[in-house]
A and B are shown apart, each in its own frame.
Chain A
């Protein structure tokens, strides 16, 4: 299963990549939303993990554009965010995301959480 992970913090990106790799995913990492849109057609991921706050283009805008493009609208999107308040989650779900994973995430449980969210859809 191939995941496209967008995270601007290199450290967090590394941890998340290793954690997901350990859980059996193939992970492609990018640093911001613009790169997601550039790479998504080429990589054809099974799911996209978006950090909410990123430079150039944040997770919210990226998700909006992904859902607006018929070619990418069907790819499940999961948000990684420090904001796990009800309103934020609701906003993410309204955009078509399948769920939110709060930061700091559990490096050992991240893969399982992603799998559960994808299974739920």
Chain B
């Protein structure tokens, strides 16, 4: 039952009770008034009866005198008194409440009228002698009735007084009950909720709430409970999220501190370092807070590129990264004020806010001194190995050459064996040379001495180089030089190495009595293209990707003799790309292949060619 209904019910009960009280009071009052009225009437009646008594006595006295003396004047008096009697008797009966009284009076009245009707000389005195005791008895009875009536009226008054006192008392009790009722169903739960709310706002969710009744307070308690649960859940989520974020932050912090890379985050507005890890601290130290000191701190550093060109780090940052540029793996050298010269590898990226505004930059740099050292050791190693390998080879090859040349091997089998030894030695030399080339290229140690060279000279020398092989393979070599092709800017030895490599490959796959062509043409954009075309079996499209990978040799069935090192085309590609050109392959299975390399046109001619 809802509180509204309860209150309505209680108020209804109170109103009904009040109404009932009023009814009772009215009823009691009515009865009391009726009783009082009856009393008044009884008194009035008694007075009239008393009058009647006196009238009867007077009538009796008058009659006796008339009878005795016969005085007519007295007869007139007697008749006047009779008139009074008639008047009293006319109003008296109706004032009686009981029929008995009325009957008794009627009996007396009948006797009186008999008495009146008695002719003179009749026995009126005897009649009167009967009437008067009757009347006295009647009056006595009436008096006692009056007494009863009075007792009744008094009792009614007492009741009325008691009721008058009782009703306010009942009303007060009801009011008290109403207050207690309101307190129990409204105030107590509200107070409990208020207390709970205070406890919760203090951070303690362990509160006891009144049992939820099936009313508005119950609804409130349930809503309050739900709110507590929701708040608790929200708080738990917030706490979990905070813990998670803290954990992530710690993890990130640990990562940042642990990585062997120096990390700094710079604020875009102030240009100050807002975060740096330990590695960064060890590498550059800590910038002072004071502006002037900071200026001096940074001025003490000297940053250059690897070839010694000075770099203004702040301009570099402001114009590059803070404008959104991402820098990956740029090599710089930092000359530290303490005298150290540290080669570093720098990567940097802008940090953006949600709205895309650049708020700062993160820079990661690595001290690559050890890499330089490793690099140096590797070069040294390669150099030593090259010497150590070539020295015995020099002896073997020289010995074999001299032996064969001296025709000391008169036995044909011996001559054959010596040639096998020599060709394998030569192959070993080639392999070592290729490995050294690749090592140098990978180490960035290969120095190219690019100078202008004429295309025809390049073609001539390259063809000369492979002439003996072509001869042995019964393959014709053909040069196809476009007239007026400009000179090229290349390292001559390396350019010949590239072309010879392509020609050697072509000769390996060319069928006997076919032709291998070396063509040179303008390629546009300041390049000259050298193409080597064979009429071999061609290369399957899915194999072309493998061609330029290191130590890849295509299926032996494709080549007359698998005599390469598997490094040739990888070196060709690297050498050509180092000089700004590129290598392409065009091959049709069954028709042969064309390998094309492009090299830049020399100096002014290059400009001229690109201008066309």
A contact set with B: CB distance below 8 Å: 9, 11-12, 14-16, 18-19, 22, 53, 82-83, 85-87, 103-108, 110
CB distance from A91 to the nearest CB of B (A): 13
Question: Nearest Cβ in chain B — how far from A5, in angstroms?
Answer: 13
Nearest B-chain residue to A109, judged by Cβ:
B401
**Centre residue among B383, B398, B402, B405 by max chain A CB count within 10 A:** B398
Q: Which residue of B has the minimal Cβ distance to A53?
A: B387
Known: A16-B398, A19-B402, A107-B399. A83 touches B383 (CB 8 A): yes
Q: Return B440 CB to nearest CB of chain A, in Å.
A: 9
Determine which of B395, B399, B447 lies in contact with A9 in the assembled complex, contact meaning CB atoms within 8 Å: B395
Residue from the list B391, B402, B429, B447 in contact with A12, Cβ < 8 A: B391
Q: Given known contacts A53-B387, A87-B447, A104-B397, is B392 in contact with A11 (CB within 8 Å)?
A: yes
Complex alpha-carbon distance, A83 and B383, angstroms: 8
For residue A86, give the distance in angstroms from its CB to the closest CB of chain B. Answer: 5
Q: Separation in Å of the A6 CB from the closest CB of chain B? A: 15
Contact A82 B447 (CB under 8 A): no
Complex CA distance for A80 and B291, rounded to whole angstroms: 62
Determine the chain B residues whose CB is within 8 A of the CB of A11 once the complex forms: 392, 395, 399
- The chain A residue sitting closest to B432, CB to CB, is A104
B-side interface size class: 10 to 19
What are 26 A-B contacts with C-beta separation under 8 Å? A9-B395, A11-B399, A12-B394, A14-B395, A15-B394, A15-B395, A15-B402, A16-B398, A18-B398, A22-B402, A53-B387, A82-B390, A85-B447, A87-B447, A103-B394, A104-B393, A104-B429, A105-B394, A105-B398, A106-B401, A107-B397, A107-B399, A107-B402, A107-B405, A108-B402, A110-B398
Give B383-420 as 1s and 0s: 1 = Cβ < 8 Å from A's Cβ atoms.
Answer: 10011001111110111111001000000000000000
> Which DSSP category, helix, strand, loop or mixed, fits chain B's interface?
helix
Contacts of A19 in B (CB 8 A): 398, 401-402
Residue ranges of B at the interface with A (Cβ–Cβ < 8 Å): 383, 386-387, 390-395, 397-402, 405, 429, 447, 449
Nearest-Cβ distance from residue A41 to partner chain B, whole angstroms: 29
- Distance from B350 Cβ to chain A, minimum over Cβ atoms (Å): 42
Return chain B residues, CB-CB under 8 Å to A108. 401-402, 405
Q: Within the assembled complex, what's the spacing in Å between the Cα atoms of A11 and B395? A: 6
Chain B minimum-CB-distance residue to A21: B402
Chain A residues, Cβ within 8 Å of B401: 19, 106-108
CB–CB B398/A15 < 8 A: yes
Cβ contacts under 8 Å, A82 to chain B? 386-387, 390-391
- Give chain A nearest CB distance to B71 CB in angstroms: 196
Q: How far is the CB of B298 from chain A (nearest CB, A)?
A: 37
Contact A9 B391 (CB under 8 A): yes
Q: How far is the CB of A14 from chain B (nearest CB, A)?
A: 8
A19 and B400 alpha carbons, distance in the complex (Å): 11
Q: How far is the CB of A8 from chain B (nearest CB, A)?
A: 9
| List of B residues within 8 angstroms of A18 by Cβ | 398, 402
A106 CA / B393 CA spacing, docked (Å)? 11
Q: How far in angstroms is the closest Cβ of chain B from A59?
A: 13
Chain A residues closer than 8 Å to B391, beta-carbon distance: 9, 12, 82, 103-104
In the bound complex, CA of A82 to CA of B405 (Å): 24
B390 touches A107 (CB 8 A): no
Residues of A within 8 A of B429 (CB): 104
Q: What are the 9 tightest A-B residue pairs by CB atom distance, in nearest-first order?
A: A15-B398, A107-B398, A104-B394, A11-B395, A107-B401, A82-B387, A82-B390, A108-B401, A103-B394
